Structure formats: C-alpha cells, structure tokens
Amino acid sequence: MTPETPPKASPEIKPTIEDIEARAAALDIEDAFPEEDFGDALLRLITAAIEDGDMTRARELLLDQHYADAADIIERMQPDDRAQLVLALGKDIDPDILPALDEEVRDQVLGVLGVQNIAAAVEAMDSDDAVTVIEQLDSDERRRVIQALPAEHRAGIEQALAFPEHSAGRMMQREMVAVPEFWTVGNALHYLQTTGDDLPEDFYELFVVDLRHHPLGKVSTARLLRVRSETPLREIIDDDVEPIPATMDREEVAMTFRDRDWVSAMVVDEDGRLIGRITVDDVLDVIDEEAEDDMLRLAGVSDSDIFHAVWQTVRSRFGWLCINLCTALMAASVIGLFEGTIQQVVALAALMPIVAGLGGNAGTQTLAVSVRALAMKELMPGNARRVIGKEMVVGLANGLGLAALAGTVAYFWFGTPLIGLVLASAMVVNLVVAGLAGILIPLSLDRLGVDPAIASGVFLTALTDTVGFFAFLGLATVFLL
C-alpha cells in the first residue's frame, strides 16, 4: 500500500511573489519581502514561521512547492531550522525531495526522519531513487529500513544493493514495461490500457522478451500507436539494441547513451535476463555528477563542502594543502641552490614567478583536456603517442611565442639583452615540459589505477615549478655570472 503524499505543484505553475505576499498576509506575516526573488522570499517566510514557533505555517509553505524547489529551500536553511522543519513534516514529507537533496543535507534529514518515515518515503519512490536514499544510511539503519518495507520492495532493494557501487545495477529502475514476443500490437495496447497503476509513471518504450525473459528488442510507444492492432510485435521490433550489463560502470553507461542517442536502455543480469531499465534523465544526472566530481577533485574539495561544518571543511582541505606545501618546499629548495646567483642579479627574483606561473597555467590547460579525454575514453593507448607529440609541439609553439614577448619586455625593463634571452629560453623549456607533464602524468596515474582527477594537479604544479626555477636560474648562472 503506497502511503499518501501531499500534492505537488506542477513545475509550470510556480507561485509568484504576489502569491507569496497573499499567503503571507493571510497568515498575518508583516513583511512578504517583495523586493526579493521567490526562493529568498519563501526561505525567509519559512524561517520566520519557525522562529515564531508556528510549524503549521512552515509546513504549509513548503508542502505547496514542487519537490525540486522544496529541496532547494531545505538545503539553504540553517541546520537547526532544517531539523525542526523536517521533524514537523515527518511522514508528510514529499518522498521526491530526498533524492534531490545534496548528500550532506540528505544525511541530516534522514537522521531526523527516523526509520518508519524513511521506509514510508522509500516505498513511494521509484526504485532507483529508493536505492540512492537507502545506500546512504549506515548498516544498522539500512537493515531496519529494509525490514520495514513490504516483501516485494525489499527484494528489489536488496538485489540492487548487491551490485557494485556506481554500477548500472545501482542506478536502474525496476519499473518497466516488458511484453512477450508472441503478442500483437492490440495485445500490448490492451495491456497498457488495463494495467493502470502497476505501470511506470513515465515510459518511452516497451521491451520485448522471450519466454526466458531475455530481451529481444524494444518498440517505441510512438511506433506502437502508428500500426494496426493485429500487427505482431516481432514485425515492428527494433532488435538493433544492446542490453547493458548490471555490472557496467555508470560512466560507461552514460557514454553509451551519448554515443547511441538512446532514450532508455535495458539492463540485464549475468544470465542475460531483463531486470530493469535506465532512462536518459538518470544518465543526465550521472554526467552532471561525474563532471562536477572531477572538477572538484582537481581542487581537492568535495561537492558537499558548502554544507560541512567549519571543522569538517578544514579537515578535508588540510591534507591536500599539506601536499601542496611539500611540493612548494621542493621548488623553494631549487631556488636555494641558486641563492648566490639571485644575490648578484636581483632582477632574477622579479622574473622567476613569470616562468613558473606560465608553465603551471599551460600544464593545467593540457591536464584539463587530458583528464576529460581519459574520462570520456577519447584518450587511449592507441592514440596516446600522437596526442603526446601534439602537446609537445603546442608547448614549443606557445613557448616560442611567449618567450619572444617576455624576453623583449625583460630587455627593455632591465636594459640587459642576456636577461631577456635567459627568460625566453627558460620559458620555452618550461612550457614544453608543462605540455608533456599535462598529458603524461594523468596517463601514468590512469595506468596505475589511480584516478587522474585526484592527484594530477599536485604533481603537475611540483614539476612545472621545479623545472621552471631550475631552468631559469641555471641558465642565469651560466650566462650572467
């Protein structure tokens, strides 16, 4: 039995500021904050209601919103206010809000809701969203929530959790429409018209299976409506499809969808039986999350950093900064080797950051392209040599162009031709090295099984700083002293 959930506003019928003002006036709130946008006004109204102890008013304001807007409001609230509001919502919380929350915020919300309310919400969700919520619980809470579910829901959740994390089996929906190959179009239409609530809320294709539940192909709903009812399904089936193994990594799933322009795909178990489907909206979430994750990992932070407490944020960033400190000390030790040279030619101290800075930026450009290419399977062993050669040529060309500009500026600045020549030469060396490092470091880490997005940046910075300082000061020692 599916628990009742509050009605959700349609995304197209979003309340305006005038609606908020009217509702505020009806609830005797003095200020409806008309100068703010809808989200800010609503957040302040709910916060004011909580501060006044009027949880009924706060509930009403939130329950009227589309689940995505409600999730945004909950994320933006102070932790104490959020806990009070979630506690007041209890079993009436819209289940669709939970998967839409940031992981850190969802963890707090789940802690407030309690096992029975979580179980009721999970039962009302699509199976893929239910897995997303349950897998975040600790082992004891997870066991208790699963035990509180009806048997049919429990079996599906346990099967999904048995698959590897970030696999197709974890992200698939069990809700789908599968029909036997010997049916006609009329049989399929009659089934769709009479099955009712047992069908998924949204579906784009019917999956055709044999007697062993092995997928044979699919038929789009548009195609189904355009042919005569007596037409056998086997005559209109699209059999040029490739089922996705449940163990496939979700990044591979996303790339397959992109390459094949799929709207949905069949997921099969190790015996080739159809067990679920993946839809394009789920794939869009994966693409967004993976791109965001790679970008944040390059900087050494997490996607939930904004919701962490101060100490958690400090602790998560401190280790990464310590590694950067070590690499900075390596570069500083190179400078120390040429202390005498710097003392005699003070101008070198002003020019050193130019060499290291440009090398780091050039390497970061190559690194960003390389990490993305590895993630998208565009950079493979077969084309690695060509790409390495290209980046070397690009680094040389950029180095020569920038060296000419910087060397000229240094000459007119300090009036010494050799300083300009030393700066130009060092820049060429460092930009070539930066280009090579920007591709060789992620390739090497990927070969060793280490995520290039995590560790490439720190190695690149260390290399370009060290090589840049060594080349510049070494050449200065040779030609200026």
Q: What is the mean pLDDT of the chain?
A: 83
**Which carries the bigger pLDDT value, residue 12 or residue 359?**
359
Is residue 35 predicted with pLDDT exceeding 50? no
β-bridge mates for residue 472, sequence order: none
Q: Averaged over 45-62, what is the pLDDT?
A: 90
* Mean pLDDT of the region 52-68: 89
Q: Where are the alpha helices (DSSP H) in 179-249?
A: 185-195, 221-224, 233-236
Note the pLDDT of residue 74.
92
Residue ranges of domains in the chain: 17-162, 178-296, 309-480
Token representation of residue 44: 């302040």
Encode pLDDT of 198-251 as tens digits: 788 888 899 999 999 999 999 999 999 999 999 999 999 988 888 999 999 998
Q: How far apart are CA 105 and CA 204, in angstroms?
A: 33
How confident is the model at residue 17, as a pLDDT?
Answer: 47
Structure confidence at residue 29 as a pLDDT band (50, 70, 90): very low
Query: Helix 103-113 crosses helix 115-124 at what angle (to 10 degrees)?
Result: 120
Radius of gyration for the alpha carbons in the chain, expressed in angstroms and rounded: 30
Cβ neighbours of residue 132 closer than 8 Å, sequence gap 6 or more: 99
Place of tokens 């200026």: 480
The pLDDT of residue 25 is above 60:
no
Question: What percent of the chain has a predicted confidence (pLDDT) above 70?
Answer: 86
Place of tokens 């355009």: 226
- Alpha carbon 296 to chain centroid, angstroms: 9
Q: What is the pLDDT of residue 167?
A: 93
Residue 394, token pair as written in the block: 């690009």
Could you report the per-residue pLDDT of 374-410, keeping only the tens digit for each? 877 778 877 888 888 988 899 999 989 998 998 899 8
Q: Which residues of 463-476 are buried (b: 16+ CB within 10 A; e: fewer)?
A: bbbbbbbbbbbbbb
pLDDT of residue 274: 95
Angle at 310 between CA 307 and CA 315, to 5 degrees: 100
Q: How far apart are CA 363 and CA 395, in angstroms?
A: 9
Q: Tell me how many degrees the CA angle 144-148-151 measures, rounded to the nearest 5.
A: 120
3-state secondary structure 278-334: EEHHHHHHHHHHHHHHHHHHHHCCCCCHHHCCHHHHHHHHHHHHHHHHHHHHHHHHH
Q: How many residues does the chain have?
A: 481
Residue 11 — pLDDT band, cuts 50, 70, 90?
very low
Q: Which residue, among 244, 296, 258, 283, has the nearest Cα to 378 in the 3D structure?
A: 258
For 17-162, CATH number?
1.25.60.10
CATH superfamily of 178-296: CBS-domain (3.10.580.10)
Lowest mean pLDDT among 55-64, 85-94, 108-117, 289-298: 289-298
Reported as a single tens digit per residue, the pLDDT across 320-379 is: 667 777 877 887 888 888 878 887 788 888 888 888 888 888 888 888 888 878 877 778
pLDDT tops 50 at residue 127: yes
Give pLDDT, residue 255.
86
Q: Is the pLDDT of residue 32 over 70?
A: no
Q: Which CATH superfamily is domain 309-480 in?
A: SLC41 divalent cation transporters, integral membrane domain (1.10.357.20)
**So what's the pLDDT on residue 267?**
95
Q: Is the pLDDT of residue 4 over 80?
A: no
> Do residues 256 and 244 touch, judged by C-beta distance below 8 A?
yes
Q: Which of 56-70, 159-173, 258-272, 325-339 has the lowest mean pLDDT?
A: 325-339
What would the pLDDT profile of 72-81 be if each residue is shown by its tens digit? 999 889 889 9
